[in-house]
Amino acid sequence: MMGVATVVLVLLVLPSATALGSPRGASDASRLRHRLVLSSPSIVAGGTEHAVEVARNEHPVPVEAWVSWVVTFPCGGGLIGDPVTQTIPANGGVARWRLDVATSTDCVGHYTIQATITDRRGSGQDEKTFDATP
């Protein structure tokens, strides 16, 4: 039987760098520094993995950006999250997009989360994996 995982997109706007820190990833076509952070590399199946895409805008003007998600399940299939947009403040402003991936007890194994961040100049991707164990 194929397990079902539920994805809940929750927009978090936190203007300063706090517990998650500032992104250290290299800038790419999106012009933003960004990284994907997972709460844990492994969870118990039936639990929820919390992921956050963090972006920093080093430019002197605010940047409108959007993040979309693709989650691939170990038991087949996956989910595609609609893009969520927010404006990242100028001069070191930070924005965060949160994704909660609820796993099913009958879908154990290796999950992959891919976040794509896009602004008017281009896009960049981050990918992380986690395991849901019995």
Residue-wise pLDDT tens digits, 65-107: 999 999 999 999 999 999 999 999 999 999 999 999 999 999 9
Interval 12-28: pLDDT, tens: 333 333 334 445 454 55
pTM of the model: 0.78
Rounded Cα gap, residues 44 and 106, in angstroms: 11
β partners of residue 33: 56
- Report the DSSP beta bridge partners of residue 90: none
Q: Residue 71, Cβ neighbours under 10 Å: how many?
A: 20
CA–CA separation, 111 vs 132, rounded Å? 7
